[in-house]
Amino acid sequence: MASRLHRLIRIIRTVRRKGFPGVQDLCTSLDIKERTLFNDLKELKDELGVNIQFDRIRGGYYLENDDVELSFVSLSESNAVLLLTAIELLEIHAGASAADPLRQLFDTELRQTLGDESLHRTRDEVRAKLC
pLDDT tens-digit map of 96-107 = 888 888 888 788
Same domain, 81 and 35: no
pLDDT tens-digit map of 111-125 = 878 888 888 899 899
C-alpha 24/C-alpha 11 separation (Å) is 13
Q: Which of 76, 59, 87 is nearest to 114 (CA)?
A: 76
CA dihedral for 119, 125, 130, 131, sign (positive or negative): positive
Q: Is 117 among the domain residues?
A: yes
pTM, to two decimals: 0.53
Structural domain boundaries enclosing 110: 77-130
C-alpha 57/C-alpha 94 separation (Å) is 47
Q: Is 70 among the domain residues?
A: no
Which CATH number do you get for residue 20?
1.10.10.10
Q: Is 101 among the domain residues?
A: yes
Q: Is 38 among the domain residues?
A: yes
Same domain, 81 and 118: yes
- Tally of helices (H runs) and strands (E runs) in the chain: 6, 2
